[in-house]
Amino acid sequence: MLIRPEPDGSFLAIGQASHAWVSGQLARAWGNEEFGQIEPWEEVCLGAEQHDVGWAEWDLDPKIDPETGRPYTFISLPLEEKLELWSGAARKMISQSRYAALLGSMHGTALYERFPPDDPTLVEPFLDEQRALQSSLAAGFDPVQLRRNQKLVFAWDYISLALCLDWAPATVKEVPNAKDELVTLELTEDSLNPWPFRVDELQLKADARRWSGSFEDSPPVALEFTLRPRR
């Protein structure tokens, strides 16, 4: 769950799956001479779109944080519960796409490798479990290409979070370009530089709810974002 405060004092609840949908929209527009093409196309776009599938049911009936009176977010939810959600996420995709499931698992482990908790031993069983799953799923796939695509999913995830939660201006680090160099993108509320898309303007959308006590009973809100090259 993403929680976005609004100027009128209300707040929007954005499901992780809707945020991931924005990641998928970014993936499907990605690719130009400077940033290259996505391969394999459908599998990577699906992995981006479904990378938070483990949260989909939880978000329909989220646990309330007693300190805020609002739903726990993907940041504030206790670590043990987050790891439980992540542990089953990739398996939900295996019957759909082994490659997408593998990317989802790699995304989960990359989060805790890049941002380890204060006590790393808390995530070691999760990391061991996911690495074993990744090993079983990865047979026949190019490991260099997989790692490149994992970094792309990580970048799309962050861009989507920054847009949904109004974090801009923000920097998007370690994004592979066409030469497989890792570059940094600069994001504002309406631009991204350097421009990585094959279209001249990108329209994105997500669903949210104006929270009123339960997710399904809260009024729906349509979010729209527009990105353009920096002028």
**In a 3-state reduction of DSSP, which class is residue 140?**
coil
As a whole number, mean pLDDT of residues 145-155 equals 98
Structure tokens at 69: 């009176």
How many Å apart are CA 60 and CA 15, to the nearest integer? 8
Say what the pLDDT of residue 177 is: 98
| 102: nearest Cα among 155, 63, 142, 59 | 142
DSSP 121-132: GGTHHHHHHHHH
168 pLDDT band, cuts 50/70/90, is very high
As a whole number, mean pLDDT of residues 212-226 equals 95
Structure tokens at 189: 């509320």
Q: Where are the domains of the chain?
A: 2-227
**Cα Dmax for the chain:** 53
Share of the chain above pLDDT 90, in %: 96
Say what the pLDDT of residue 78 is: 96
pLDDT at 231 over 90: no
Which pLDDT tens digit goes with each residue over 78-102?
Answer: 999 999 999 999 999 999 999 999 9
